[in-house]
């Protein structure tokens, strides 16, 4: 009987990795790539438990190995996360050196030692370069799992040393049924773009927050600069760091995607901002939407570099207003 896989969707990927593990034919380094919230890290942890469980129905969740791994205290499961001391999301060269020292030691008790880098795009150039050699010739019985939603941000030398496993968004009917079984609104399968993790977060209240931001945003766009700046100032200040500004960028992207859908005769994802989406669709398709998509990706880069959220939003919404005002009225 096949094992009970932990993720909804992406069954082929899960089955392939479990089979490679059963046959003891795992590649020494895998790159798990795919959108946020589809379960890449969940599956990586599951695979470590599956490979090392001491019971027959693996992973049993009850043996010593499973127990230690679940509590995060198994010495042969090494999870490297971004350095919490750094303002930007970075896995530092010091962390990689520390990892290499740990890998020189013998395994404790695991059949197979697992190293998870989550997310691998947090490696900067020095830390990625420090990792290369180990990634190429890892110690015996050591398994690297690199996790990323931004595969293009990884050095090509890192990518080429890994076997790539692509996790995709989950099909809508499958995710709807899965959400329904958990008492969550099934329509979130659509809103979440096929991401179970995101859908669950939406179900747990993010929906209200996003709606509030979207309402404030749609009210501010197209208004005189004074009102626009009041919005960006309020949003740029909320919460710590740049996460709030990132949320505004996400919402803008969703609205633009909806405008593009509408222009191509497809149904938009969100029904509740229909008037605005219709207006944008008429005014911006196709050139304006293309330019705004580029602007969004630049805004994300700047937020990642820790540029002030208000500054980034002002530039972005200023560009949007220009596009809207330059469009011929129909
Ligand atoms: Zn077990």
The stretch 241-251 carries a mean pLDDT of 79
Instruction: Determine the pLDDT at residue 144.
Output: 97
Determine the distance separating the centroid of ligand 1 and the alpha carbon of 66, expressed in angstroms.
4
Instruction: Determine the pLDDT at residue 205.
Output: 79
Is the model's pLDDT at 175 over the cut of 60?
yes
Q: Residue 161 corresponds to which tokens in the numbers above?
A: 């040393």
Contact 177, 9 (CB under 8 A): no
| 171: confidence class by pLDDT, cuts 50, 70, 90 | very high
Q: How far is 218 from 274, CA to CA, in rounded Å?
A: 11
pLDDT one-digit tens code per residue, 17-47: 999 999 999 999 999 999 999 999 999 999 9
Q: b/e map of 6-37 (b: 16 or more CB within 10 Å)?
A: ebbbbeebbeebbeebeeeebebbbbbbbbeb
Determine the distance separating the centroid of ligand 1 and the alpha carbon of 50, expressed in angstroms.
7
Instruction: Determine the pLDDT at residue 238.
Output: 61
Residue spans of the domains in the chain: they are 11-166, 169-207, 221-326
Q: How far is 28 from 32, CA to CA, in rounded Å?
A: 13
In sequence order, the 6+-apart residues with CB closer than 8 A to the CB of 223 are none
Determine the distance separating the centroid of ligand 1 and the alpha carbon of 259, expressed in angstroms.
49
Determine the distance separating the centroid of ligand 1 and the alpha carbon of 68, expressed in angstroms.
10
Instruction: Determine the pLDDT at residue 87.
Output: 80
DSSP state of 106: P
Determine the distance separating the centroid of ligand 1 and the alpha carbon of 144, expressed in angstroms.
21
Instruction: Determine the pLDDT at residue 99.
Output: 96
Q: Residue 172 corresponds to which tokens in the numbers above?
A: 């809508």
pTM: 0.69
Determine the distance separating the centroid of ligand 1 and the alpha carbon of 62, expressed in angstroms.
5
Determine the distance separating the centroid of ligand 1 and the alpha carbon of 140, expressed in angstroms.
22
**CATH code given to domain 11-166:** 3.40.50.300
| 219: confidence class by pLDDT, cuts 50, 70, 90 | confident
Instruction: Determine the pLDDT at residue 78.
Output: 96
Instruction: Determine the pLDDT at residue 26.
Output: 95
Instruction: Determine the pLDDT at residue 329.
Output: 53
Determine the distance separating the centroid of ligand 1 and the alpha carbon of 85, expressed in angstroms.
34
CA dihedral 314, 252, 152, 21 (to 10 degrees): 140
Instruction: Determine the pLDDT at residue 216.
Output: 85
CA-based Rg of the chain, rounded to a whole angstrom?
Answer: 22
Name which of 86-100, 101-115, 241-255 the model is least confident about.
241-255
Nearest 5°: CA angle at 136, between 132 and 139? 110
Is the model's pLDDT at 182 over the cut of 90?
no
The stretch 274-292 carries a mean pLDDT of 90
Determine the distance separating the centroid of ligand 1 and the alpha carbon of 107, expressed in angstroms.
18
Sheet holding 142-148, edge to edge: 77-80, 113-117, 142-148, 29-33, 163-166
Determine the distance separating the centroid of ligand 1 and the alpha carbon of 4, expressed in angstroms.
13
Determine the distance separating the centroid of ligand 1 and the alpha carbon of 57, expressed in angstroms.
8
Instruction: Determine the pLDDT at residue 155.
Output: 95
| 145: confidence class by pLDDT, cuts 50, 70, 90 | very high
The stretch 284-288 carries a mean pLDDT of 91
Instruction: Determine the pLDDT at residue 213.
Output: 84
Residue of 87 and 97 predicted with greater confidence: 97
| 239: confidence class by pLDDT, cuts 50, 70, 90 | low
Instruction: Please give the C-alpha separations between residue 273 and each of 198, 248, 255, in angstroms, as whole numbers.
Output: 20, 15, 8
Give which of 182, 192, 211, 185 is closest to 272, Cα–Cα: 211
Determine the distance separating the centroid of ligand 1 and the alpha carbon of 65, expressed in angstroms.
6
Is the model's pLDDT at 236 over the cut of 90?
no
């Amino acid at each position: 009987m096949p094992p009970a896989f932990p993720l909804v969707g992406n069954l082929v990927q899960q089955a392939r990795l479990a089979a490679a593990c059963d046959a003891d034919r795992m590649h020494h380094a895998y790159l798990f790539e795919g959108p946020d919230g589809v379960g890449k890290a969940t599956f990586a942890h599951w695979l470590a438990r599956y490979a090392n469980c001491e019971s027959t129905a693996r992973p049993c969740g009850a043996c010593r190995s499973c127990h230690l791994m679940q509590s995060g205290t198994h010495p042969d499961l090494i999870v490297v996360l971004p350095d919490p001391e750094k303002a930007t999301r970075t896995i530092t060269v010091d962390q990689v050196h520390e990892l290499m020292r740990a890998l020189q030691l013998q395994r404790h008790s695991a059949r197979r030692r697992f190293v998870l880098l989550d997310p691998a795009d947090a490696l900067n150039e020095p830390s990625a370069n420090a990792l290369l050699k180990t990634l190429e010739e890892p110690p015996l019985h050591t398994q690297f799992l690199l996790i990323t939603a931004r595969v293009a941000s990884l050095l090509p030398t890192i990518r080429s040393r890994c076997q790539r496993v692509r996790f995709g968004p989950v099909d809508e009917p499958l995710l709807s049924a899965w959400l329904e079984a958990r008492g969550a609104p099934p329509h979130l399968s659509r809103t979440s773009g096929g991401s179970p993790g995101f859908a669950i977060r939406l179900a747990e209240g993010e929906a209200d927050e996003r709606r509030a931001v979207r309402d404030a945003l749609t009210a501010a766009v197209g208004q005189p600069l004074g009102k626009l700046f009041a919005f960006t100032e309020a949003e740029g200040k909320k919460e710590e760091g740049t996460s709030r500004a990132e949320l505004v960028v996400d919402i803008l992207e969703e609205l633009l995607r909806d405008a593009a859908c509408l222009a191509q005769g497809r149904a938009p994802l969100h029904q509740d901002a229909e008037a605005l989406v219709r207006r944008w669709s008429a005014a911006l398709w196709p050139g304006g939407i293309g330019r705004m998509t580029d602007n969004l990706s630049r805004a994300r880069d700047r937020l990642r570099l820790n540029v002030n959220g208000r500054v980034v939003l002002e530039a972005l919404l200023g560009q949007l207003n220009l596009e809207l005002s330059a469009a011929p009225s129909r």
